[in-house]
Amino acid sequence: MSKRMELKAEQVAEIEAARVKNKNKNVERRLLSVLLYGQGVKREEVMLRTGFSKNHISDLARFYRNEGLEALTGNHYGGNHRNMSFEEEAAFLEEFRADAEAGNIVEVKDIKRALAEKLGRETRSRGHIYTVLERHGWRKVMPRSQHPNKADEATIEASKKLISE
């Protein structure tokens, strides 16, 4: 069984100071849960006050013990990890745009292959290239195989007979 976490006076002061400066409610909940748990409040009580599960409270305490206050207050979500800037993506897609405007069929697999060559590695997933295309205002346009209101073959043959008479 693991040893229960106990906070020293300077750690309590550090967390309280962070709570005063904080404006993010999710960070507040993390700070409060570690503060309460470190002061001897049972996980069940902390769970009721913060809405975190018992296991998550233990995880937060471990993160604080190993990594410090930054583990609770820092932004852990990196956001948009693009391989190129918006301008670089636009320049890359420009050669394909010329083909598309000329009436040629541009396939996503060709764009993906060219992107992999430019980056020197494969992209994470097929959806990545669709995200790039959407970001630059591209949309999927396919020629349809037949008109949606096309008459059936019997009607077409009947009209041919009417015209030839």
Q: What is the mean pLDDT of each run of 10 residues along the chain (165 residues)?
A: 75 94 93 94 94 94 92 74 82 90 86 89 80 86 77 86 72
Is 149 within the bounds of a domain?
Answer: no
* Residue 82 confidence (pLDDT): 66
Residues 15 and 59 in one domain: yes
Domain that includes residue 111, residue range: 86-135
Segment 122-128 long-range contacts (CB within 8 Å, at least 24 positions apart):
123/83
Is 50 within the bounds of a domain?
Answer: yes
Least Cα distance to 64 among 95, 88, 32, 93 occurs for: 32
* Residue 1 confidence (pLDDT): 37
Question: Token match 């693991």: residue?
Answer: 2
Residues 62 and 101 in one domain: no
* Residue 79 confidence (pLDDT): 59
Nearest 5°: the CA angle 62, 46, 74 is 45
* Residue 162 confidence (pLDDT): 77
Residues 32 and 57 in one domain: yes
Structure tokens at 120: 């020197």
Structure tokens at 162: 């009417």
Least Cα distance to 36 among 66, 65, 10, 16 occurs for: 16
Is 161 within the bounds of a domain?
Answer: no
Is 148 within the bounds of a domain?
Answer: no
Residues 69 and 14 in one domain: yes
Structure tokens at 149: 């209101």
Nearest 5°: the CA angle 32, 37, 43 is 105
**How many whole angstroms separate alpha carbon 143 and alpha carbon 133?**
19
Is 32 within the bounds of a domain?
Answer: yes
Computed from CA positions of residues 100, 104, 109, 115, in that sequence, does the dihedral angle turn out positive or negative?
Answer: negative
Q: In the chain, how many domains are there?
A: 2
DSSP state of 112: H
Is 162 within the bounds of a domain?
Answer: no
